[in-house]
Chain A
Amino acid sequence: MDYFLTEEQVMIRDLARQVSEDKVMPIRAELDEKEEFPWDIMKTLAQSDFFGINISEQYGGLGMGGFELTLAIEELSKACLGVSTTFAANSLGTYPLLLQGSDEQKKKYLPDIASGRKLVAFGLTEANAGSDAAGVQTTAKLEGNEYVLNGTKQWITNGGDAEIYTVIAITNKAKGARGASAFIVDKGTPGFSFGKKENKLGIRASSTRELIFENCRIPKENLIGKEGLGFIIAMKTLDKSRTGVGAQGVGVAQGAFEAAADFAKERHQFGVPIISIQAVQHMLADMATQIEAARALVYAVAKFIDTGSKDVAKESAMAKLFATDVAMKVTVDAVQVMGGSGYMREYPVEKMMRDAKILQIYEGTNQIQRNVIGQALIKETAKR
């Protein structure tokens, strides 16, 4: 379907597609197998300005919006979710700075982020905090001109490979969620180390590690916004980034659909290509319809967020929920259409199916997305 993209948006989509086809597709199986961090691809994306899409021009970015970013994420996800997760986690980690960073913080960090010289990671989840974001136990205590961080973040995408970390920690336990604050921590700060790299079902090209803070001292200036804003910053960050996860869903589903449709054209049974068998056709028809519906929703919500609207939690949750459920269903069906071949590692769809599962889990499980939507509905109903 034609979404009437501008010339610049087409340029972003096409270049992302070119990177995917030339640089990602040839090595995605190997990255998955070896669980290898895609440094070369990140360098290509950096050189091609992808890291600066939604960072303003004064900091070396392109000054575009979240919608343009979703276009790039969708194309990369068509080829490999591990790669697109590595890329997209940067914008997740950058949103706290874009939302509440001071001019000095922006000047210090955004040029390195926009140029791709430094990767970024976002640290919220802990052993006892994730879906319950208010359960954060990592603490930050002000001592003179420094905050002292103690605690452990887990399952942090780009952990260990990123240079810049935006981290949520508790500055005032008594205040609960309102006692959380957001900080910037540079890799290499004494007292800041990493756990072992996790061994995952999917998105194996992306790295996942613990962030360990043991009396880690950071300058007072690394506080983002004000004390107590941490929880709000985290929620606003997730509101912004969820369409990116939705775009990942659309991309991986499209990739799996195309592989399945191409296969169905070639594979013959009962003397005909299986694409002409109605049972297969109907599966493909459902897959294509669901993908288009997901894409339309993700694009619409991304554009809505770019208008600067204040409350976007419900819509962004809807985009993430719907598109990632579609991704799971379509990738499973793609394996089914391809039968035995689909189950083999020679073909890309089994990887896509393994990869897709994370989309229903990270950046808020799809159950949490339903909570977000439900809460918004209660508020809306109360207003009527």
Chain B
Amino acid sequence: MNIIVCIKQVPDTAEIRINPETNTLMREGVPSIINPFDLHAIEAAVQIKEQHGGTVTVLTMGPPQAETSLREAVSMGADEVVLLSDRAFAGSDTWATSYTLAKAIEKLGADIIFCGKQAIDGDTAQVGPETAEFLDIPHISYIKKIEEVTDSAIRVQRMMDEGYDVVESSLPVLLTVVKELNQPRMPSLKGKMAAKKAEIKKMGMADINADEKSLGLKGSPTQVKNIFAPEIKAERKMIEGTAEEQVENLVKELREIKCL
């Protein structure tokens, strides 16, 4: 069983501030962590490996400093770690990121791919499902329990607003996980020592047979025009008079602002 876990190194949002002029995150001096949802993804992968055998490969796309997150993944039980890094990847939106990850996964080969449900910096929750689309494989998002894994299929519980769905899929499949799935383990001392020595496999544009036009800023259809905090405008108006007058005036007002 080959399991790939896609992780993202993110700024620890518990300690982050927003630049009031540009409305962007101020990353200077903020510690980087593995996206918390991704820790649950790593835990799930390592548990499956422990029960069914196989290898866990942790994959991240990011700058060279994302290496520290990959080493942390080794200390939790990852067998292989891959850093997807290339100047050509810079400025990727979720579409370009998913395309790049999919290309790398095609190259590496996987039966199950795990992602956290979303990253705590972008919060889009798009990269997991989009990656599955690029790979042309099924995906199940927001899984909260893995009921059964066999060599060719998986049955999981998908969290819904009320209750959950039980979903079965053939492999390969991509799963995005929620925190309820498990309790990520503490790193082990042996794992930490292995992490120090772990060899990090590096892959760039040339290694994944990617189309340059689909990468990075050029390959990103999302164009950010402006970032702002939505203003909440609330006005209050009291309508006086008898009940009939109030209803009449209310209807008139609603028509004026084109609510009716």
For window 14-44 of A, CB contacts with B under 8 Å fall at: 15, 18-19, 22-23, 44
A48 at the interface (CB under 8 A from B): yes
Minimum Cβ distance to chain A for residue B260 (Å): 54
B187 at the interface (CB under 8 A from A): yes
**In the bound complex, what is the Cα–Cα distance between A23 and B186 (angstroms)?**
10
Minimum Cβ distance to chain B for residue A68 (Å): 9
Query: A22 touches which one: B186, B189, B190, B192 (CB < 8 A)?
Result: B186
Q: Is the CB of A12 within 8 A of B189?
A: yes
Interface of B, helix, strand, loop or mixed by DSSP: helix
For window 183-205 of B, CB contacts with A under 8 Å fall at: 185-193, 196
B157-196 near A? 1/0 per residue, CB < 8 Å: 0000000000000000000000000000111111111001
For window 56-89 of A, CB contacts with B under 8 Å fall at: 62
Q: Is the CB of B187 within 8 A of A15?
A: yes
Q: What chain B residues lie within 8 Å of A49 (beta carbons)?
A: 188-191
Q: Is the CB of B193 within 8 A of A48?
A: no
Query: B189 touches which one: A7, A11, A44 (CB < 8 A)?
Result: A11
Q: Is the CB of B193 within 8 A of A15?
A: no
Interface magnitude class on chain B? 10 to 19
Nearest A-chain residue to B196, judged by Cβ: A7
For window 101-157 of B, CB contacts with A under 8 Å fall at: none
Minimum Cβ distance to chain A for residue B196 (Å): 8
**In the bound complex, what is the Cα–Cα distance between A19 and B192 (angstroms)?**
14
Q: What chain B residues lie within 8 Å of A19 (beta carbons)?
A: 186
Q: Is the CB of B193 within 8 A of A44?
A: no
Chain B CB count within 10 A is highest, among A44, A48, A62, for A48
Query: A62 touches which one: B185, B186, B189 (CB < 8 A)?
Result: B189
Q: What chain A residues lie within 8 Å of B192 (beta carbons)?
A: 11, 15
Query: B193 touches which one: A8, A22, A23 (CB < 8 A)?
Result: A8
**In the bound complex, what is the Cα–Cα distance between A288 and B189 (angstroms)?**
30
Q: Is the CB of B193 within 8 A of A11?
A: yes
Minimum Cβ distance to chain B for residue A144 (Å): 43
Minimum Cβ distance to chain A for residue B45 (Å): 16
Q: What chain B residues lie within 8 Å of A53 (beta carbons)?
A: 189
Q: Is the CB of A47 within 8 A of B189?
A: no
Q: Is the CB of B189 within 8 A of A50?
A: yes
Q: Is the CB of B190 within 8 A of A47?
A: no
Q: What chain A residues lie within 8 Å of B188 (beta carbons)?
A: 47-49
Q: Is the CB of A62 within 8 A of B190?
A: yes
**In the bound complex, what is the Cα–Cα distance between A8 and B193 (angstroms)?**
8
**In the bound complex, what is the Cα–Cα distance between A11 and B191 (angstroms)?**
11
Which residues of B pack against A, CB within 8 Å?
Answer: 185-193, 196
Which residues of A pack against B, CB within 8 Å?
Answer: 7-8, 11-12, 15, 18-19, 22-23, 44, 47-50, 53, 62
8 chain-A/chain-B pairs, Cβ below 8 angstroms: A11-B192, A11-B193, A15-B192, A19-B186, A44-B186, A48-B186, A49-B190, A62-B190
